[in-house]
Amino acid sequence: MDTHIDIACLQTRPMPDFNSALGEALPLADAAVQAGAEMLFLPEYCGGLKSKGAALDPPAALEGDHPFLKRFQEFAADKGVWVMLGSIAVKQSGKLVNRGFMLDPNGRIFGRYDKIHMFDIQLSETEIYRESDTISAGDQAVIHETPLASIGHTICYDLRFPHLYRNLAQAGANILTAPAAFTKKTGEAHWHILNRARAIENGCYMISPCAIGRIDGGGEAYGHSLVVNPWGEVIADGGMLPGVVQARIDLSKVNEARARIPSLSHDRAYSFSDASRRTA
Q: Is the dihedral of CA 4, 6, 11, 12 positive or negative?
A: negative
CA 237 to chain centre: 15
Whether residue 43 lies inside any domain: the answer is: yes
Say if 37 falls within a structural domain. Answer: yes
Q: Is there a domain that residue 269 lies in?
A: no
Answer yes or no: is 278 within a domain: no
**Active site (annotated) includes residue 70:** no
Cα dihedral 276→277→279→280 (10° resolution): -30
- For residue 41, give its domain range: 4-262
The answer to whether position 267 is within a domain reads no
Chain segment 267-279, per-residue pLDDT in tens: 999 998 876 666 5
How many domains does the chain contain in total? 1
pLDDT exceeds cutoff 70 at 258: yes
Q: Residue ranges of the alpha helices (H) in 126-191? A: 162-170, 184-186
User: Which residue among the candidates 156, 204, 210, 220 is catalytic per the annotation?
Assistant: 156
Residue 185 lies in a domain: yes
What is the DSSP code string of 2-21?
--EEEEEEEEPPP-SSHHHH
CATH of the domain at 162: 3.60.110.10
| Residue 221 lies inside a defined structural domain of this protein | yes
Question: 85-124: per-residue pLDDT in tens?
Answer: 999 999 998 899 999 999 999 999 999 999 999 999 998 8
Assess if residue 268 is contained within a domain: no
Catalytic residue among 38, 44, 131, 220: 44
Burial of 14: CB neighbours in 10 Å, binned 0-12, 13-18, 19+: buried
- Catalytic-residue membership of 44: yes
- 115 as an active site residue: the answer is yes
**Candidates 38, 46, 79, 115; catalytic one:** 115
pLDDT tens for 168-227 read: 999 999 999 999 999 999 999 999 999 999 999 999 999 999 999 999 999 999 999 999
Q: Give the CA-trace dihedral at 100, 101, 102, 103, to 10 degrees.
A: -150
User: For 8-35, what is the mean pLDDT?
Assistant: 98
